[in-house]
Structure formats: structure tokens, C-alpha cells
Structure 1
Amino acid sequence: MRPKEKRTKKLTLRDIHVGDWVQVWSPIPERYSPPMKITAIHDDGTIYLTIDDECCCDPWEEDIKNIDALPITIDLLKGFGFQVEEKNYTIHYKDYCIGCISDPKSKYAKPNFYIYGCHCRHMHELTDTLYKKIDNIRLEWNGMDKTKEEHETV
């Protein structure tokens, strides 16, 4: 039996743009980096990334073969500053109602995310859609908040 693939969608140079949010696969520990923003793309497949626009350090340099799509989840959206209203299945960003999700509590399927009518599975697809619709949008990764219960158990 073949081992389960641990990686999400592998990206190509045609899939990504400067400003997209992705994740970097580390083959030795077999895990992903936190979300990283693309700052430069070179023809040889070298990608430069940073954790945010305010970072003063040198950008992270990585080969395209290690750059993977960042799957959208409700927690990820909240980490980028989106408000997700699970009661009426809407997604808001600042003053904009930008989309909706299928039933997030369904035990049969993962939620589907629709941003301005486009089905988005990964963060680079969401940012491409938002950049076309909202002027001067600037997404920043704020991390995921731990709940009170998680703080108590840590």
C-alpha cells in the first residue's frame, strides 16, 4: 500500500503571484511552515518569501518544488483578519461581505468557500480574487488565537 501523501497542492510558477500567501514544505521533519507571503519570483524557480510586510530581515529563499498551496480553513481566515459568521455562513473582510461558506458544521464534507462567486480552495486563489475586487487590500497574517480552554491546558 502506498503511503498517504502529506503535501497539499504543489504549485508552479504559473499558479502564483507576488503577494500570494503560501506554505513551504520541509521534507526532513515532513511539515509545513506558517503562512508566508511571496515577495519575489525568479524564472529559475527561486521564490522569496517573508512572514509579513513589516519584517526587516532578509527574505526566506526557497525553490518552487517546496512551495505548496495554503488550504483555506475557518481558522486560517480568522488568522488573516476575516470575520466568519458561522450562523449565516458569511465571510466578511473589514466593511465588505466578500463571500459565503457551505455548512461548516457538516460532518460529511469539508466546508466550501465562495469568494465573490468564485470557489476558492487555497489562499492564493482567494487573494487573486480579492485583489481584482477590492482596491488597496493588504492581508496580514496575525496567527491563530488560542481559546481560553487551550490556554488553561498549556
Structure 2
Amino acid sequence: MKVKNNILQHKVKLTPLEKLLINRLQNDLPLVPEPFLMIANELGCDESEVITSLQNLLDKGVITRFGPLFDISKKQGAFSLCALKVAQSKVDDVAKLVNSYPQVAHNYLREHEWNMWFVLATSSPQELEDAYQDIVTKSNCVGINCPKEREFFVGLYLPV
């Protein structure tokens, strides 16, 4: 086992269905009342097998998240990637503070001088600036605010 970017990495043996499922779910999830049934029919198995396999992949850490990715460029509002310099002794408290804001979409800890990164999503640039300043003030940490200027789409497909 190896540790890379604070993630424990180890080899995992995947079942044939897990491999098919990983490949299938990277493209899209059908917007139908029973998407897992539709995928099961495509893959030649039962809906319960799809759901169980997906849960097993999450439990084993093969995938860390299963959920939608939204095209935020189609939603009006303001978006920013922000970072804080947080003393190691304050990481837990500052993470709780940052995560308490409904405008925070993600919050990640990194091994770097700027060690806490989070995304703010608000309905206006002023709300974004207010939330950012409030977090910096309440955390008593130095921060940087990098508002989105341009949207890039990087298609990524990792076949198994």
C-alpha cells in the first residue's frame, strides 16, 4: 500500500461487473425514473447487482464520490476557488467553520502553505465577497479569493 496526497492507495481486485459499471457510469446516468434498472438491462444483470456493486466500489474506496456534476456556467451567480493558510492546530475548527456556510460547495485539505481550499457558490459577486470576508475574519486566517473568470471543460474518461 502507498500513501499519495493523503490517500491510502492499494490494489483492489474488481469484478467484471464493477469494471463494466465504472466504464458505463463515466459517460452519463440516464435521466429516467429507474436509472439503475436501465443500466442493469444494458449490462445484462439485475438492478440490485448494480446498486450493490456501486456501493461496494464506494466502500472499498475505488470511487470516492457518486453524484451529479453541474455545469455551473449555465447557472447565474458567482463562483470562486478560495484558500486559507491554516495552522495545523486549527484545522478541525476552521474546517467546521468553513463547512458551516451554505455557500461552500467543497472543502479540501492540502499539504501546502495554502492548505485549506474551498469553492464558494453564491447568487451574486457581493454575496461571494461577503461570505469570503466573513470566513477570513472568523477564522483569523490569511486567505486568497480566486473568482472564476472563464469556464473550461475537460472531458475525462478513465477506462478500466
Shared fold (TM-score, shorter chain, > 0.5) = no
Say which structure, 1 or 2, has more relative contact order (CA 8 Å, 6+ apart): 2
The two structures have a TM-score, normalised by structure 1, of 0.25
Structure with higher Rg: it is 2
The two structures have a TM-score, normalised by structure 2, of 0.24
